[in-house]
Structure 1
Amino acid sequence: MTGAPRVYRARTVVEVDAGGLLHVLGRPPLGEYLRRLWQRRHFIVADSRARVQTDSRANLLGSLWLVLNPLLSGAVYFVIFGLVMSGSRGIENFLGYLVVGVFLFQYTIQCLNQGSRSISGGRQLIRAFSFPRAALPVAVVMRETLRFLPALATMLVLVLAIPFVVPLMDPGGETIALRIGWPWLLLPAVLLLQLVLNTGLALIAARVTARIPDLTQIISILARFWLYGSAVFFSVDRFAEYPALSAIMQVNPMFLVIDIARDLLLYGVLPSWGAWALLAAWSTGLLVLGTLVFWQAEETYAAP
């Protein structure tokens, strides 16, 4: 029995250049890693803007909450520490002092808390695509920075309005001087150092919580201690009787950020070069440390 004749076709072998293919779980050298991260900067910014707009639409008041949250927190701290506990004693322009502290501290804490959840929240994306995982915590910092901009504008408006509003509320009270001058021009430098600081903190938080997500709760608890240690609603002078504690508080990076901003905005004083140098050392050091620590664990982030 004979069947149909078999037809044999010649096979063509096509060579494909795999030079551009990347292993999803691979870790490139640090220089290459940073280069790839920089190449994705436009995507990070666009994605951050889209997420901010989406989150705002989910709330009834929308973007207004970006301003209301720090305002309500400041009001609570004012009632508790300014009125009930008389924490305003010895502090000139306590309302302005409180506003600057609360707004700037909440910006950093949001970057820290959201950065600690960036890897667990992006696990499916990590397993599906090859990209520098540091893009996730960096995108979180970018997102929180965009959310902070309306709050920053509100903070500056309040700082300008408080000297006029307080005398109307309490005609017999002490008049608050308004000091607007060239030191205000240095505020962007403080905010830039704070942005660098926040990025380093987000990278470190993302790394330590990648394998143990429960550490996000520990970070939230430690953030409360950090709040009290940053002189947000009281003066560090209250701890003059405890030199060691006072010294620790004054080298705290968030205390430096807030204290320098208060000197510039409220009191028209140029902070010492030592304060600037110490803050710059903290910001740069944490960014370098966070980058190295995060990069070293690059291959582990896709693990279940």
Structure 2
Amino acid sequence: MSSATAGSIVEINGHAVDISGLRPVGTRPPLGDYIRGIWGRRHFIRADARARALSSNRDMLLGNGWLIGRPLLDGFAFFLVFGVMLGTSKGVDNYIAWLLIGVYLFSFTSRSLTEGATAMSAGKNIIRAFAFPRATVPIAIVLRQVISTLPVIMMMLVMIAVIPPRATITWLWALYPLVFVLQSMFNAGLVFYAARITSAIPDARLLFGFITRFWMYGSGVMFALDRFINHPRLLTVLELNPLYCVLELSRDLLVYGKVPDPKLWITLTLWAVLTPLIGFLYFWQGEEEYGRE
């Protein structure tokens, strides 16, 4: 005999059915069950991310070549405007490599934020049709961006090593993958935040584009911040920017062959741990909101 109470037994087509283990679709499960549900779908997340990463630009003539080509064109434009016309390259050793790192690595985060902002609207049909942890959608986006960016990073390393004045390959290059991992973790947090915010306020997608442009100028992508900012407190605040830390660490390791300031490591690590942790909890809190009309 079932231990279910009488209130959990319903009659369907003449048969008594125990519904005590059922719950409404779309409700927020306990955090532990939620995480186990995500883990149970890890193979699907990986397969979906890989398939979408390799087909994202299939409608274009150059295909995935635009993953490399677009940042390269942006870098060329920034070089002409900022490096040549405005003279921001003065005082920066190996400005071409310095600029390439800034453009390519900032694009990695900006693309993740843009994709995160459309995550829930793009997947609304499947969200409404099936019961699954909604966090699998932004997680798949993060993994897709990582897969798409890996060949871009490889091309960036080749370019800074062969374009004069060539960057010298040292043992410090072996530390760069750690920077990439920390940046990917930080990006994951951004995607969680963007996915929930734009799910509730679709117009926020436009705001994110506006914020991204300001963020680029405040991260030292095209020019060294300390050359144009003399206010020490403002400079200190800008140096806490996680993207500034990513770029400075990468440039020190890959271009200048020197051990970066430990403060950069500590700051980026804190951002990389706290942003996805809090972002995931924030996204989970809104589990019941996704897919509603």
Structure 1 and Structure 2 fold alike (TM over 0.5): yes
Is 1:219 the counterpart of 2:208? The answer is yes
Quick check: 2:160–2:166 contact (8 Å CA) kept in 1? no
Q: Which residue of 2 aligns with 1:98?
A: 99
Q: Which residue of 2 aligns with 1:299?
A: 288
Quick check: 2:219–2:243 contact (8 Å CA) kept in 1? yes
Q: Which residue of 2 aligns with 1:169?
A: none
Unaligned runs of 5+ in 1: 1-10, 164-175
Match of 1:271 among 240, 260, 272: 260
Deviation of 1:182 after TM superposition, in Å, equals 1.1
Is 1:89 the counterpart of 2:55? The answer is no
Q: Deviations over 1:77-98 (max 9, x none)?
A: 0011000100101101100000
Aligned residue identity for 2:274: G
Q: Deviations over 1:245-271 (max 9, x none)?
A: 211211100000111011000011111
Aligned residue identity for 2:50: R
Is 1:198 the counterpart of 2:198? The answer is no
Match of 2:15 among 13, 16, 20: 13
Alignment root-mean-square deviation, CA: 1.6
Query: Structure 2 CA distance, aligned partners of 1:123 and 1:22?
Result: 21
Query: Structure 2 CA distance, aligned partners of 1:130 and 1:297?
Result: 15
Deviation of 1:239 after TM superposition, in Å, equals 3.4
Query: Structure 2 CA distance, aligned partners of 1:255 and 1:161?
Result: 25
Is 1:47 the counterpart of 2:36? The answer is no
SS of 2:25's partner is coil
Aligned residue identity for 2:280: T
Query: Structure 1 CA distance, aligned partners of 2:58 and 2:18?
Result: 46
Deviation of 1:16 after TM superposition, in Å, equals 6.1
SS of 1:56's partner is coil
* Count of aligned pairs: 281
Quick check: 1:126–1:301 contact (8 Å CA) kept in 2? yes
Percent identity for Structure 1 against Structure 2: 42
Query: Structure 1 CA distance, aligned partners of 2:173 and 2:23?
Result: 47
Aligned residue identity for 1:219: F
Q: Cα–Cα, structure 1 residues 22 and 152, in superposed 2: closer, same or farther, change >3 Å? A: farther
Unaligned runs of 5+ in 2: 1-12
TM-score normalised to structure 1 length: 0.88
Deviation of 1:240 after TM superposition, in Å, equals 4.4
Q: Which residue of 1 aligns with 2:122?
A: 121
Deviation of 1:135 after TM superposition, in Å, equals 1.0
Aligned residue identity for 2:97: G
Query: Structure 1 CA distance, aligned partners of 2:146 and 2:20?
Result: 38
SS of 1:115's partner is helix
SS of 2:163's partner is helix
Q: Deviations over 1:92-148 (max 9, x none)?
A: 110000000100000000000110110111111111111111111111111111111
The 4+ residue runs of structure 1 with deviation greater than 4 A are: 14-18
Deviation of 1:26 after TM superposition, in Å, equals 1.1
